[in-house]
Amino acid sequence: MVNFHGLKNKHLFLADGTTQVAVKRLGRMGPAEIGFLEEVETIGSVHHFNLARLIGFCAENKNRLLVYEYMSNGSLEKWIFKRDLNKDLNWATRKKIILGVAKGLAYLHEDCRHKIIHLDVKPHNILLDESFNAKISDFGLSKLIARDQSQLLIGMLGTPGYVAPDSTVTVKSDVYSFGIVLLEIVARRKISDSSRSESIFVLPQMLEKKGGDGDDQDQLIDIVEDLDEDMENHREEVLRTIRIGVWCLQHDHTRRPLMSAVVQALQGLTEVDPDIIYKFSHPTASASKSNHQDHLISVAPQASILSGPR
Task: Please list the active-site residues.
Answer: 120
Crossing angle of helices 235-248/259-266, nearest 10°? Answer: 170
Beta bridge partners of 200: 193
Provide the terminal-to-terminal Cα distance of the chain, rounded to the nearest Å: 7
